[in-house]
Each structure stands twice: as structure tokens, then as C-alpha cells.
Chains A and B, each alone.
Chain A
Amino acid sequence: QVQLVESGGGVVQPGGSLRLSCAASGFTFSSYGMHWVRQAPGKGLEWVAFIRYDGSNKYYADSVKGRFTISRDNSKNTLYLQMNSLRAEDTAVYYCALNYIGGFDPWGQGTLVTVSS
């Protein structure tokens, strides 16, 4: 079945960097666009970034533009999110999600990023 598994979260100091990974299985990864969505503690969902199936187009939320980079390796069935210049307000659970017809489905289980000194 379709499965997405995130990894790479952890505690990082303000100004630091972190790279998240999302391992995909159970579908033809190279045929689908992918998203990153985050959720700060006790808050709602915030879309972060999108990459087309072939990596040719990438979009970012204004809140992360210039600091985060989405990428993918279709040979490894893996999605990435490189996060630089991290701020306290980037603290959240980060989910990867498949760009399905009409919505995001499925989602991974999430990985927690905590930005704190």
C-alpha cells in the first residue's frame, strides 16, 4: 500500500539547519507531485512547499521562501526538505503528502522539528 515515512526531525538552535526526508513506497513516486505541510504545536495546518513529479517546478510558502528548499530523488523514491536559517516559529511537526486528485493523500506520520536554544 502507499506509504510515506518522514525522518530527520530533531532539536536545532535558531539559525541552524536541518534536512528532512520522506521515503515513499507502494506507488510510482516519479509520477506524482509532493508537498510538505507543517503544524505548529496546538495549531492548524500550514502548507510549506510543493515539487512537481519531475522536479521542474517548486513552490514555497512566503514564510519559508529563501530559507527552505524542496527537492526529490526519483531514483531513491525520496523527497527532501532542506531547512536553513531556522527560527523558533518553524517549530512544528512536518508532514510530507502526495498530491492526489482533489487533495493531499496520503500523508506521512510526521517528524517533529524543534527550534530552540
Chain B
Amino acid sequence: DIQLTQSPSFLSASVGDRVTITCRASQGISSYLAWYQQKPGKAPKLLIYAASTLQSGVPSRFSGSGSGTEFTLTISSLQPEDFATYYCQQLNSYPPWTFGQGTKVEIK
């Protein structure tokens, strides 16, 4: 199975900050990576797929990059509604479809 490791697991940031989250895969997954946002008590929401394609309706301050084994999710200017937990997911080799352990973004 492919393992995904996110870093950091937790980060504290201020509104307006640029935030970067990294996701590393245990083996190459081409660009078959998705990013999700989850707020407390809510279902995850797809933000980015194919490593860098923004899902419809997602603000342009979110961007994704990478291929192979290393990927990043960047929020260019953190907004109050962006405080949440973010997960990466690989869709290259399945089953299983695996997720990273999550990165919680909190207000500094």
C-alpha cells in the first residue's frame, strides 16, 4: 500500500499568511493526488485534484503542485474560513485509496 505523510501535522498561522502543506508519498504516484478541506463536524470537501487542478468553486488562493512523490498545497493568503484540517489522498494505486494523516491549520 502507498503511504502518505503530511507535514506539518499542525500549524498555527495568522489571517493573510501564506501557508504551505507538504504531502510525501512512499512511492511515485504521478499526479494522482487530491487535497481535501474538512471543518469540524462537516464532511471533507474536494479542493484540488490531479495535484494542481482546482475543483469548481474553490477560491483561487488555493493551489497545488508536485508530481511523483512530493506535493504541496499552498494557501496564498489565509482567510478566516480556511482554518480547518487538510488531507491529501492518492488515487494512483488502489485499493486502498489512502489519505495522509491530516494537517490542522489553526489561528495564531
A interface vs B, CB < 8 Å?
35, 44-47, 50, 59-62, 95, 100-110
Contacts and interface: CB of A to CB of B under 8 A. Distances in A.
Interface of B: 32, 34, 36, 38, 42-46, 49-50, 53, 55, 87, 89, 91, 94-102
Contact of B46 (A35, A46, A103, A108): A103
B55 A104 contact: no
A59 B97 CA distance: 10
A108 B45 CA distance: 10
Given A102-B34, A102-B49, A102-B53, A47 B98 contact: yes
Contacts of B97: 35, 47, 50, 104
A103 B34 contact: yes
Contacts of A110: 43
A84 B101 CA distance: 27
Contacts of A44: 87, 99-102
A53 to B, nearest CB: 16
Contacts of A106: 43, 45-46
